[in-house]
Structure 1
């Protein structure tokens, strides 16, 4: 018996936060499996370079510089995907920001920045994509959440709160989408070797990066989980996946 075509072939997928880490690996793997990928991030030079790499390998991709905290940017992103590829099948909300610190430090600027990216950015994606999915009669929203929202650790209260807000929004969308038109998936990674810690204050950054080096997952592992959720046949929804190192507490 011969294998049929890859179920990802022909799908159009937006990936936010595609310039590095999980987003980069998700976009690369989707393109390798035949999907057309629309790469969104603020760092244009990085997504341009990734598009060039995908095109050289025979894939289909475009780069759209995007700040998910701006609704106009996200609306333009969705419109660009449709103009280039004719439809939008999946929105991967992967853009995220982590700024760790104890609440008593009162770092209101960092709190607001995390809320803007991790919560408002997700809502902007939904506002732009859901009407398209409804018109098409089909669509899939995949959102990167975090195990930080499952086990709350010191210095992570606000970050975990934003991720739990994202989890709640996704569950609300699932509850509102039982007519089968829109599928929803939450991916909750644990320690993964990414650049997420780069913008943290030094002591928190060193702690997180030490964990990443010691037992962090390769982001390819999370990319496989995302592809697994997307490749399911119509009518099958992978609602939530937690993926973390087996030794992570």
Structure 2
């Protein structure tokens, strides 16, 4: 059975767990050849075996710009093209500023902003090339957060700042690359069950309808990148039904 993304090559950062892993699965289910980028090679290799021989593994830390450029070049060398980039790698620490560790703040900026910049910068050339091919369009999708629209509390401080930053960056990219048929999309999830939210205490006592699963966000990514080439979905804000902020 053919899929909506047959012949498409997609790269997903932070693909070793959570939203990244779910997105890789969803893209592969639509026929895409998926390049998995993350630090934990063992998890990537397990996922690649499951997704099939068209899947490739690229061990990389998105905060290392030179390594990111090399990884993207490797994706293009092994797959012959790059049609879709999903910037998913992220880090979050929710601590009031008076109690915060400066190193934690720097890590959030390095991963959430620096990582998006490095990966996008490396991929823009190949994506622009792909947009001139048979599909006629290419995509950058960045996983942001509802915190990129609204600061929901004091402890979200630097995390929210990083997500506002990638929102501004994405809008500037959209304006620059729309004439080149590279679509720029931003997915802004509310609370999602993941290693990140389980580790930073964000889940708290929420019930079943107060938290989403990673697959829900992957669905939004697939929706974005499977629109007709005349359509660019620039932002999707998606919350669990019971989330009020």
Please report the TM-score for the alignment, with normalisation by the length of structure 1.
0.90
SS in 2 for 1:155: helix
Report deviation, 1:197. 2.8
2:226 equivalent to 1:227: no
Task: Report if aligned partners of 2:128, 2:180 keep a CA contact under 8 Å in 1.
Answer: no
Which of 38, 41, 63 is 2:38 aligned to?
41
Contact preservation (8 Å) 2:197, 2:203: yes
Q: SS state of the match for residue 155, structure 2? A: coil
Q: CA deviation at 1:199?
A: 4.5
**1:79 matches 2:73:** yes
CA-based RMSD of the aligned residues comes to 1.7
Structure 2 counterpart SS, 1:176: helix
- Aligned match of 2:94: 100
Instruction: Please show how residues 80-159 of structure 1 align to structure 2 within 5 Å.
Output: 80-136=74-130, 137=132, 138-152=137-151, 153-159=153-159
Q: Which residue of 2 aligns with 1:18?
A: 15
Q: Does 1:170 align with 2:147?
A: no
- SS of structure 2 residue aligned to 1:120: helix
CA contact (8 A) 1:12 1:89 kept: yes
| Aligned equivalent of 1:190 | 190
| Deviation at residue 76 of structure 1 after TM alignment | 1.6
Q: Deviations over 1:2-42 (max 9, x none)?
A: xx943211110000010111110110111111100000111
Equivalent residue pairs, number: 238
Query: Is the 8 Å Cα contact of residues 68 and 74 (structure 1) preserved in structure 2?
Result: yes
CA–CA distance in structure 1, aligned partners of residues 23 and 120 of structure 2? 19
2:209/2:241 contact within 8 Å kept: no
Per-residue deviation at 1:209? Answer: 4.5
Structure 1 Cα separation of the partners of residues 207 and 124 of structure 2:
35
Q: TM-score with structure 2 length normalisation?
A: 0.92
Aligned-pair CA distance for 1:208: 2.8
Deviations 1:67-101 (A, max 9, x none): 00011221122112111211000100000000111
From 59, 63, 77, give the equivalent of 1:65: 59
Q: How many angstroms apart in 2 are the aligned matches of 1:145 and 1:212?
A: 23
Partner SS, residue 208 of structure 1: coil
Cα offsets for 1:120-174 (capped at 9, x unmatched)? 0000011101122233434210000000222312200110000010111001101
